Structure 1
């Protein structure tokens, strides 16, 4: 069963990806000091009309198994504990237990 936090994070990532180009264009217009104030104001209004999942700050690295938001190993997308359990079970390619 998939954790609701993971589903929410997936939705946020899809929304950010879908609106990234237009959002960056409006942001560039809003920050451009050489443009007229009215144009900059309209760009700022358009930025405010975007939904919740169009902002890149809503994306958070989460474990794809447990939904945990802390201690994420980014290369695998797993939390420390989930990574350890999968590595010990031999389910991660190229990851082996160290032998000192």
Structure 2
């Protein structure tokens, strides 16, 4: 299991234990998911990487690294985090401080 599969498994264990408990073979499931995540990160990273222009080599390396970082963030959001149930504090909008004082 690659790092992406391990991250997905730990995230689901910690934030959605009910769904995690329903997975018949977590090792196989998260191994496959990790491979899918890696493939999507590679594809998106490639798409987000700008064509080399007139910038200095180190500047271009920075652009490539930022594309990879953005790809990983986007894929993790889509393939891991979006499927999790909202955290309790995310489900309700707290009243602004002024309104709380009036109640």
> Shared fold by TM > 0.5?
no
Q: Greater RCO between the two (CA within 8 Å, min separation 6)?
A: 2
TM-score of the two chains, using structure 1 as the length reference: 0.24
TM-score of the two chains, using structure 2 as the length reference: 0.24
